[in-house]
Chains A and B, each alone.
Chain A
Amino acid sequence: MRKKKIIVLDADGVRRTVTRIAYEILEKNKGIDNLAIVGIRARGAPLAERIVDIIEGIEKKRPLIGILDITLYRDDLSAIGEKPVVHSTEIPFNVDDKTVVLIDDVLYTGRTIRSALDAIVDFGRPKSIQLAVLVDRGHRELPIRPDYVGKEVSTKGNEVVVVRIKEVDGIDEVTIEEKTS
């Protein structure tokens, strides 16, 4: 059980933040040549979709898009035999020499991104890999830093950042919630 505490971003806030990230990606990479946007399941995938839509609106051209399921690369596959459900990975392009921008909802320990980096390089040798996250909540356990951050949120031990995305959760919002048990 969790108790809702603070709303960090509401639906409008999420929309504005995603838009800003899309602009930053375009600006930093000077257009969409060789650019591939790859969302990490579950919530990174719809975010990637939105970013690609925004970029297409600006550039009138759609960058490459893919979806990554990092389950098979996790370092915490459960000891009790209860396994995360594996969903498909869809990288319908050659990643060699591409600039791959990984999209995820929350950056926390960095372990998901470590898995995603391993997964991506199994598809080839990108020119570079960048990382965009909606929320960075700190407490990194690996030397990983994001290139694009929607919002930095500092949390205490008993707090969690919860991102809800319309396509997955029916609503767009980012909240800080307290663990009660």
Chain B
Amino acid sequence: MRKKLHRKDLLGLEDISAEEIELILNTAVSLKEISERPIKKVPTLRGKTIVNLFLEPSTRTSSSFDLAAKRLSADTVTVSSSSSSILKGETLLDTARNLEAMRIDAAVVRHSSAGAAHFLAQRLKASVINAGDGSHEHPTQGLLDMLTIREKLKRLENINVLIVGDIAHSRVARSNIFGLKKMGANVSICAPPTFIPYYIERLGVKIFYNLNEALPHADVINVLRIQLERQGKELFPSIREYKELYRITKDRLQLAKSDVLIMHPGPINRGVELDPDVADGISSVILEQVTNGLAIRMAILYLLITHK
């Protein structure tokens, strides 16, 4: 049986079909086993070149993509913002032209501007994989979160997922909402109103301001990383107050279902949005997310990179 993603690039989960998501998740399940072998490598993408273009700091996602490519035998080059000529004033357009000239097969892109991956996708023959564009989308994170939920709860349909944190500036939140809604899950968000963008209810999410009211319904709590640099600006008064109102603590968790799953896209601000004993507790599936992230990225590379 043959199936395919109907696209050259993976730019987001908003414009991808439920069937395609299903295919990616199933492929990732099959690929998980490779990482358990003594020789953690298959020859599938031998001779393919993948550039990891990380123009915004990231260790976790960048190493996950790098490892995924290597487990499939692709050659990888990682270009990060500190080492790149972007610092020397090279534009994204020139970067795109250079990549094209190097005849790469795929580019994985992390960039602080929404639409940066689209920009490259329109200009490259190679597949472009969005590894996070501004506050827009982070599709592989959305996929790995869904894989983790499906693995633990055996389904996505009618699962109640609660996302807590700065929704307005979160690409993780957007990709989760787009993906989960498509797969039939119910999504709620909980944050102070300054973190909730207008019209988000049109995406079919339920809004809570009070964490205690939101917790009892959730099968899954996805806790977003709070961006400390936004403190004291207009969006929230202080970390102290945010912690008082929204930190996931062991005590608060008493309000949730006993088998609730705790997820976090990482890196965690321990003791800020999430208490250490919750992050390391029995409800936490944060490390499974990391493992699944690798499998999802292998699946994406396998499904997108064409053999010519």
Contacts and interface: CB of A to CB of B under 8 A. Distances in A.
On whether A and B touch (CB less than 8 Å), the answer reads yes
Interface of A: 69, 72-73, 77-90, 118-119, 122-124
Given A83-B3, A83-B4, A72 B306 contact: no
A84 B302 CA distance: 10
8 contacts: A72-B34, A73-B42, A79-B308, A81-B4, A88-B29, A88-B33, A119-B42, A122-B41
A92 to B, nearest CB: 10
A80 B305 CA distance: 10
Contacts of B72: 72
B294 to A, nearest CB: 15
A86 B4 CA distance: 11
A176 B31 CA distance: 35
A77 B30 CA distance: 17
A85 B42 contact: no
A77 B4 CA distance: 12
B42 A122 contact: yes
A77 B305 CA distance: 10
Interface of B: 1-5, 23, 26-27, 29-34, 37-39, 41-44, 72, 299, 302-304, 306-308
B30 A87 contact: yes
A83 B30 contact: no
A118 B303 contact: no
Given A83-B303, A85-B2, A118 B31 contact: no
B43 A82 contact: no
Nearest to B71: A72
Given A72-B44, A86-B27, A118-B43, A78 B33 contact: no
Contacts of A83: 2-4, 302-303
A81 B2 CA distance: 10
B302 A72 contact: yes
A85 to B, nearest CB: 5
Given A73-B44, A86-B302, A124 B38 contact: yes
A81 B306 contact: yes
B2 A78 contact: yes
A123 B39 contact: yes
A145 to B, nearest CB: 24
B43 A78 contact: no
B30 A86 contact: yes
Contact of B37 (A81, A88, A122): A122
Nearest to A81: B306
A74 B30 CA distance: 16
A98 to B, nearest CB: 14
Contacts of B303: 83
Given A73-B42, A79-B307, A84 B1 contact: yes
A89 B40 CA distance: 13
B30 A88 contact: yes
Of B1, B23, B30, B299, the most chain A CB neighbours within 10 A belong to B30
B299 to A, nearest CB: 8
A85 B37 contact: no
Given A86-B27, A88-B30, 18 more contacts: A69-B30, A72-B43, A72-B44, A72-B302, A73-B44, A77-B307, A78-B306, A79-B307, A80-B4, A82-B2, A83-B2, A83-B3, A85-B2, A85-B23, A85-B27, A86-B299, A89-B33, A122-B42
A90 B30 contact: no
A14 B53 CA distance: 55
Contacts of B26: 85
Nearest to A84: B2
B8 to A, nearest CB: 8
Contacts of A85: 1-3, 23, 26-27
Nearest to A76: B307
Contacts of B30: 69, 86-89
A79 B39 contact: no
Nearest to A78: B307
Contacts of A73: 42-44
A97 to B, nearest CB: 14
